[in-house]
A and B are shown apart, each in its own frame.
Chain A
């Protein structure tokens, strides 16, 4: 069964949609012979180097810049004090509660630093090397302050990350199904299960991750024209423009932001950064173009991090395995500052912990917390991987408790395909899906029964290499987002997207999109959509993006929104072009509009051989010689689309891991995923997104983790210690699809950019735990290093030992860690 056959709407054999086209942008992106920000040079451009705090928390007592100012090539050395009135502020655009405690985040610190890596001074020099040399000569005196680094200790408020705020507790956000009328009372469900059912209680750790995009961030500011131009390696040129205007007092109309080719982001570039604001302030102060490009070390230290949560789950079920309630208590580390959507990321989990299961009662509590570490914000999946991990881990635990197959227990509890659209206990309406079909296909591709048999055989023979099978049946909400819902959540902007189509006189088509690509392949996919819709050649479509002067309206790229929201805007703009062109065509063909039929790029008079190609209509509009009376000579069109709902991709991921019980080493044996992402525009791009997503999710399970020492120094500050995988560490993944077209957009598409990351982490950890459960293990902390796996085998979960290195213990009714997180004084775990 091929994907093309599954698609109901595009039966034409030469349709672009569904074609596995190679990406038209790849040659320039892969060779690097393109316009990365750091490749750009503006006449008279100066270079910046940042002086950063080595301390996690300190008062700045003095800064001596004399020696640096006297160094070769140095133009100026600027401190926070110098630009305190003009540097703007790094804003939090999503205060999750009205009483959120939000520390002011100045781009260049003035009197106090709250995490290592904060900028305290900026050197401006003629060359990058001179700037870097002089940065070493800036003499900063610090008075060290106590730093709070451990998330649970921070929640106890003994040491305060920002003493003036008096608390580390940033905001508390709650969703209760009984209170909002979308379900029952979770406490009652749990109480009942304690008497006659099953209660599973687990605490999971989402370690801190670093987005580690390939292109380090870079910003170039030219203040010399009427409009200041800001080139930045960003995912969010439109949001950046707005926030520059809003916080620096520069009229929005005087700002042009350009995101040239951007080399990856994974959420890590949806921030508006201190480096951007400092560069703008300094270039304006000097009246000269300035460029700053971070080093890899600076990138790992100062770009925002992701994840970092403690997750407590209480799941109640009947004795037959039917789930009756789920209660979630999160502690989420914001780091030193609340980033642009930092508080909102864990809150996105509110609608995702219940996942694909029919929990009758549900409660989600999220306490966000400030610490003296690098700020935390969206990283591929943003809130949904965290939620999916916890629910998929605990569903395996339920199956283990019942002694049943984990897929069978899931099936007993999931939404069946006849039940869509389905309104969940969290209050979301899932558009479409077929969990049965995806799971059946995945099991078949995986050879599930055979691997289960081999697992049993290895267990029986006490093979030193044990086999485990991990299941992850996930869904996610993507296509951020209906503006109305964002408004209810106190988010600072809407969730619409904009597109324009320009019909050029030569028959070429320019598509302007507000969703700014940074490696996703928008240029190819959008071309395919427009080629089909307008009946023009794929090669004749040019997609323009990432420049506020060209694509002036947009909400940018994150949250798997580009295709489902931005793509829909493109479709609507194309339909408007056709509608405009039809009037012209009728006039030119001397026919009634009703007699015209638009097919394969031509307006044809029904029943005749008379017709005009849309390119011919575009030329006629350009010439303007013969148009209907009163018509404007243009068939260009714009559309702004605000989604009515999210879309909900889903899938079944199955992972087989071998665990060497002598060393704790883990080896992936097989990975199968069957994703349902609705209609597929380009299977090759989808495959790439899934593979990349899988590797990032698997990396969270096995390899990656940002670790700080007791002084608040990031010890995984280079790729020697922050162990990113390479192709050599991966296997060939088997990926396939089922297709349940989304009902919330014309194309029937759902997002795919984050699916692999969201689904794969629990599949891997479930497989590892499954392999060694017979040793009494029911959890291994991530990343599941060989040492942790081996020690888990050695001790078993019945003998929990100290710290995060060990399996998380059960927690009992009435134990302190059952309380609201903000009263928990537990110091278990902590910085490793």
Chain B
């Protein structure tokens, strides 16, 4: 479990990191919390010439509020996101989902931005970020920044809108204050990647669902948002029967993987059951 030799750079600013990326191009890999990259290096599945560690860039860490948005630095650890009262209050779904990630050791090391850019469809932060309509601030060469909407961020398996020479710097999450939230994660053992995960957050009004957001983990090559289900839930009472009917089509059009944990059809079935449960739990029913 010894990685191939690589050079190690630890820039202290985003600008320096971008410059290093420009200089080393394809040779370079960005190290965030290292919870995916280090096993890959240690098993020699990848052998970059240069590893650029973002761990010393303090501007990438922490949670702040900016008007109607929460701004989460890409290098904020899972643990720090979990510990943030602002996240619990205004983006409860993110808190609930991150609480299920792996184990405490990994949550102290792994970062929200690292996970999002790694874009493993079985990871637990993509679906809630999508469901909450997060936007992604990406820095590029020459001090350029651009903001990508959630729907455009995840492109394919392990592929996002973050291009070569770019870094994800911030995740901006619109406040969902007062929304109920639940992340229904289905695993066989506790530290496993999600077999299927359902992120649901709901605003209730007078005993009915006024608005709902639903994201799906590991139901395709990227995290997915179930917009048809969200619409079908509007105005429904938070009852088993009503929600069951509204979410029945949640797996339509999805293309989940088949593996030792279950085949594609089983995952589709699971998504249907788990979405009902997630929505009901989010609605406090």
Contacts and interface: CB of A to CB of B under 8 A. Distances in A.
A707 B189 contact: no
B190 A662 contact: no
A720 B189 CA distance: 10
Interface string A697-709: 0000011010100
A149 B118 CA distance: 35
Contacts of A703: 188-189
Contacts of B192: 720, 723
Interface residues of A, number: 32
A791 B266 contact: yes
A729 B266 contact: no
B269 A715 contact: no
Interface stretch (B61-69, B76-84, B214-222, B257-265): B257-265
B188 A662 contact: no
8 cross-chain pairs, A with B, having the tightest CB-CB distances, nearest first: A728-B190, A787-B262, A295-B1, A723-B189, A132-B2, A129-B2, A787-B266, A662-B273
Interface in A774-832: 785-787, 790-791, 832
B228 interface: no
Contacts of A705: 260
Nearest to A705: B260
A785 B195 CA distance: 12
Interface residues of B, number: 25
A141 to B, nearest CB: 21
A814 B5 CA distance: 63
Nearest to B266: A787
Contacts of B39: 718
B191 interface: yes
A503 B140 CA distance: 76
5 contacts: A133-B5, A136-B44, A786-B186, A786-B188, A786-B262
Given A297-B43, A665-B186, A724-B189, A787 B263 contact: yes
B261 to A, nearest CB: 7
Given A297-B43, A787-B261, 10 more contacts: A297-B1, A702-B188, A723-B189, A726-B191, A729-B190, A785-B188, A785-B261, A787-B266, A790-B269, A832-B260
Interface in B182-196: 186, 188-193, 195
A133 B188 contact: no
Contacts of A296: 1
B4 A133 contact: yes
Contacts of B274: 663
Interface of A: 128-129, 132-133, 136, 295-297, 662-663, 665, 702-703, 705, 707, 715-716, 718, 720-721, 723-726, 728-729, 785-787, 790-791, 832
Contacts of B266: 787, 790-791
A728 B260 CA distance: 21
A129 B188 CA distance: 35
Nearest to B43: A297
Contacts of A832: 260
B164 interface: no
B44 to A, nearest CB: 7
A707 B259 CA distance: 11
A663 B103 contact: no
A723 B188 contact: yes
Contact of B270 (A136, A297, A663, A718): A663
Interface in B237-271: 260-263, 266, 269-270
Given A296-B1, A665-B186, A790-B269, A726 B103 contact: yes
A705 B193 CA distance: 17
Interface in B1-20: 1-2, 4-5
Among A663, A716, A720, A728, chain B packs the most CB atoms within 10 A around the CB of A663
A663 B188 contact: no
A804 to B, nearest CB: 12
